[in-house]
Amino acid sequence: MNTVMTVKKGVVLAMALSAMMLSSAHALTVYTAGPGSLAKSLASGFEQQTGVKVTVFQATTGKVMARLEAEQANPQADVLISASWDTAEDLHQRGWLLPFASANADQVPANLKSADYIAQGVSALGIVWNSKSGTRNQRVAGSHPAGV
């Protein structure tokens, strides 16, 4: 729960900073490969707090990156919420990220931040199988190829 709240606060802060940098236009464009429901919730809350309209493009990491590359000469995204460490590092190496100083940067380990980004997130892995599927293998002593 703490990590999710930290992520939400970080995204809202990034959106707020982007909104301050907008000229006369009152809109913010967010590209995200993160969960669509989270993006919609953040956008709605930000709109209510600031009055700034948020347009969200939510897709897979590949589609988000393809759009960023296609728009390279005329960038449309104000904020990117990446779902991939590799993607963030690639954008950093290309020089496509602007410096960002988080108020909570001192709490983030040095290997998860640079002058251009602060990585935050949660990852989970689940392994599931149908125990009624297939044939149960009865191991007989000495039947293993290694003689185990």
Residue 24 has a pLDDT of 41
Res 4: pLDDT: 43
Whose structure tokens read 């919420």? 81
**Poorest-pLDDT segment among 58-62, 82-86, 119-123, 143-147:** 143-147
More confident residue, 89 or 139: 89
* Top-ranked range on mean pLDDT: pick from 106-110, 111-115, 134-138: 106-110
pTM: 0.61
What the chain holds in terms of domains, given with CATH numbers, is 2-112 (3.40.190.10)
**Phi and psi dihedrals of 110, rounded to 5?**
-55, -35
List strands edge to edge, sheet with 27-32: 53-58, 27-32, 79-81
What is the pLDDT, as a whole number, of residue 143?
A: 60
CA distances from 66 to 33, 43, 49, 59, 103 (A): 12, 22, 31, 10, 31
First to last CA, the chain: 45
Confidence band (pLDDT; 50, 70, 90) for 68?
Answer: very high
Helices (H), the chain: 2-21, 36-50, 61-70, 85-94
- How far is the C-alpha of 52 from the C-alpha of 114, rounded, in Å? 29
Give the contacts of 43 (CB within 8 A, at least 6 positions apart).
Answer: 30, 54, 56
**What pLDDT score does 1 carry?**
41
Is it the case that residue 119 has pLDDT exceeding 60? yes
Amino acid identity at 120:
Q
